[in-house]
């Protein structure tokens, strides 16, 4: 029998991540030792108190029914967390919804807010899940370039008037993936004004909120008027090393949250209750663990950035997230450079163009290996970097 796929599937091509995974598997089968700095999946465990809570509750036979929605305890933990950490006053459960990892919510929300043909403003480069959500909604992306000259913030003034009139959503992500930039209060204030003027819903992805170093990131909802125009997604995947648990939340505008609740009531039956309880404990006891986690990533960042710069690279230390966004030598495309690193150094990074056209000329390096492996990667790069940099001059 011949299986015919829908035309919609043409909008979901095989991503470079799948191609890299296949190539990595081939190299591993050949016996090559790879240092994988390509995937933003935490290599560290959750805090012990989270694991303990999960272990205790999975033993309870009463915890295996449908949860349907977020528990009251989880929702209250989110409200308290935002009030404590970001001085954002969320007043009731109507301003929070649990999602099965922030990606699930980010992919589904455009279907709630747009019709086919509507325009969604999205950063370029940007997280690949945003395009998936735009495609599912049948909307059209308008890509806002993130340029180094503008501190990797989109320039709202560059958006044409006809695009502003058709746009229904703006998706932002600070601290960002793949570009680890931070938004300023002034920028978010401009976003609120722009959104009000053109009736555009703002979706802010705040998944890396806890992974910062010298400067604490600003919640979009902390800016006056933000709750009137938008929502913010957050996740426990990166902040608490709970990526496989698939739990996150969206907070902000009540009307948008209620609409996503309507959609999700037709899609899923909620997150496993023991995971919700573990997430609740994580949010309620975030401070000490988050400080320790930031210390680990900062040490990795400093080690690797210093090492790269000593080898001739010109890399700015990221202010947040678990990523380094680095230019490739002029002689190479991003993809060519990535494959050369795999073949000649056994190091895997992600080509910047995987995140959008504006990512060409860069690679994303994930700090998801311990310091010993990062030091080993620097050792492998030493000769290769010297040769590559000379070729690009």
Question: Has residue 391 got a pLDDT over 80?
Answer: no
Question: Has residue 91 got a pLDDT over 90?
Answer: no
Residue 153 DSSP class:
-
pLDDT category at 386 given cuts 50, 70, 90 is: very low
Q: Work out how many domains the chain is built from and give that number.
A: 2
CATH number at residue 347: 3.90.1150.10
234, 239, 244, 247 alpha-carbon torsion, rounded to 10° = -30
Of 285, 313, 332, which residue is a domain's last?
285
Q: Is residue 297 part of a domain?
A: yes
Q: Is residue 31 part of a domain?
A: yes
* Distance from C-alpha of 345 to C-alpha of 353, rounded to nearest angstrom: 21
Looking at residue 319, what is its pLDDT? Answer: 96
User: Is 368 within 8 Å of 41 (Cβ atoms)?
Assistant: yes
| Same domain? 162 vs 186 | yes
pLDDT tens-place string over residues 323-340: 999 999 888 999 999 999
Of 256, 285, 314, which residue is a domain's last?
285
Q: What percent of the chain has pLDDT over 90?
A: 89
3-state secondary structure of 143: strand
Q: Is residue 2 part of a domain?
A: no
Ordered alpha helix ranges (H), the chain:
16-29, 48-58, 72-86, 102-113, 128-137, 161-166, 185-198, 226-229, 254-264, 273-284, 286-310, 334-345, 371-392
* Distance from C-alpha of 302 to C-alpha of 356, rounded to nearest angstrom: 27
| Same domain? 307 vs 225 | no
| Same domain? 22 vs 124 | no
| Same domain? 187 vs 312 | no
* Distance from C-alpha of 250 to C-alpha of 100, rounded to nearest angstrom: 11
* Distance from C-alpha of 188 to C-alpha of 185, rounded to nearest angstrom: 5
Q: Is residue 58 part of a domain?
A: no
Mean pLDDT across 161-172: 97
Residues contacting residue 378 through CB under 8 Å, at least 6 positions apart: 303, 304, 307, 308, 311
Q: Is residue 256 part of a domain?
A: yes
| Same domain? 15 vs 145 | no
Q: Measure the N-to-C terminal CA separation of the chain; round to a whole number of Å.
A: 56
| Same domain? 188 vs 104 | yes
| Same domain? 298 vs 155 | no
| Same domain? 248 vs 304 | no
Range(s) of the domain holding residue 281: 64-285
Cα distances (angstroms) measured from residue 173 to each of 125, 181, 205, 214: 11, 9, 5, 19
pLDDT tens-place string over residues 57-76: 999 999 999 999 999 999 99
Of 266, 285, 304, which residue is a domain's last?
285
Q: Is residue 165 part of a domain?
A: yes
| Same domain? 85 vs 213 | yes
Mean pLDDT across 36-59: 95
Q: Is residue 393 part of a domain?
A: no
CATH number at residue 216: 3.40.640.10
Looking at residue 385, what is its pLDDT? Answer: 55
| Same domain? 207 vs 124 | yes
By C-alpha distance, which of 47, 94, 56, 80 is closest to 236?
47
| Same domain? 143 vs 171 | yes
pLDDT category at 14 given cuts 50, 70, 90 is: low
Q: Is residue 1 part of a domain?
A: no
| Same domain? 134 vs 238 | yes
Q: Which long-range contacts (CB under 8 A, 24 or more apart) does 371-375 make?
A: 371/299, 371/300, 371/303, 373/35, 374/300, 374/303, 374/304, 374/307, 375/303, 375/307
* Distance from C-alpha of 241 to C-alpha of 68, rounded to nearest angstrom: 24
pLDDT tens-place string over residues 228-282: 999 999 999 999 999 999 999 999 999 999 999 999 999 999 999 999 999 999 9
Looking at residue 11, what is its pLDDT? Answer: 81
């Amino acid at each position: 029998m011949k299986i015919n796929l829908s035309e919609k599937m043409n909008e979901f091509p095989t991503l470079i991540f799948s191609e890299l995974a296949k190539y990595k598997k081939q190299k591993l089968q050949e016996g090559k030792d790879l240092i994988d700095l390509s995937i933003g999946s935490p290599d560290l465990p959750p805090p012990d108190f989270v694991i303990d809570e999960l272990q205790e509750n999975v033993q309870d036979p009463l915890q295996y029914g449908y949860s349907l929605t977020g528990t009251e305890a989880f929702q209250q933990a989110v409200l308290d967390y935002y009030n404590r950490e970001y001085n954002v006053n969320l007043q009731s459960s109507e301003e929070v919804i649990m999602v099965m990892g922030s990606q699930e919510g980010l992919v589904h929300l455009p279907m709630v807010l747009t019709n086919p043909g509507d325009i969604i403003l999205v950063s370029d480069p940007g997280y690949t899940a945003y395009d998936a959500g735009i495609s599912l909604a049948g909307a059209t992306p308008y890509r806002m370039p993130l340029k180094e000259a503008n501190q990797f913030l989109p320039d709202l003034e560059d958006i044409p008037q006809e695009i502003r009139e058709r746009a229904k959503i703006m998706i932002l992500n600070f601290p960002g993936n793949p570009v680890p930039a931070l938004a300023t209060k002034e920028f978010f204030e401009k976003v609120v004004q722009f959104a009000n003027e053109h009736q555009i819903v703002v979706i802010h992805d705040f998944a890396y909120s806890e992974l910062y170093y010298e400067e604490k990131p600003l919640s979009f909802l902390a800016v006056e008027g933000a709750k009137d125009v938008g929502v913010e997604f957050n996740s426990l995947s990166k902040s608490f090393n709970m990526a496989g648990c698939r739990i996150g939340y969206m907070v902000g505008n009540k009307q948008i949250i209620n609409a996503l609740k309507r959609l999700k009531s037709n899609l899923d039956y909620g997150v496993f209750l023991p995971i919700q309880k573990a997430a609740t404990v994580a949010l309620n006891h975030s401070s000490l663990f988050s400080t320790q986690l930031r210390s680990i990533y900062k040490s990795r960042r400093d080690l690797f950035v210093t090492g790269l710069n000593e080898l001739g690279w010109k890399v700015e230390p990221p202010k947040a997230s678990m990523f380094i966004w680095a230019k490739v030598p002029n002689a190479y495309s991003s993809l060519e450079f990535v494959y050369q690193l795999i073949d000649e150094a056994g190091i895997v990074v992600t080509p910047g163009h995987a995140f959008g056209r504006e990512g060409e000329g860069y690679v994303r390096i994930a700090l998801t290996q311990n310091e010993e492996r990062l030091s080993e990667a620097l050792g492998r790069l030493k000769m290769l970097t010297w040769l590559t940099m000379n070729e690009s001059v």
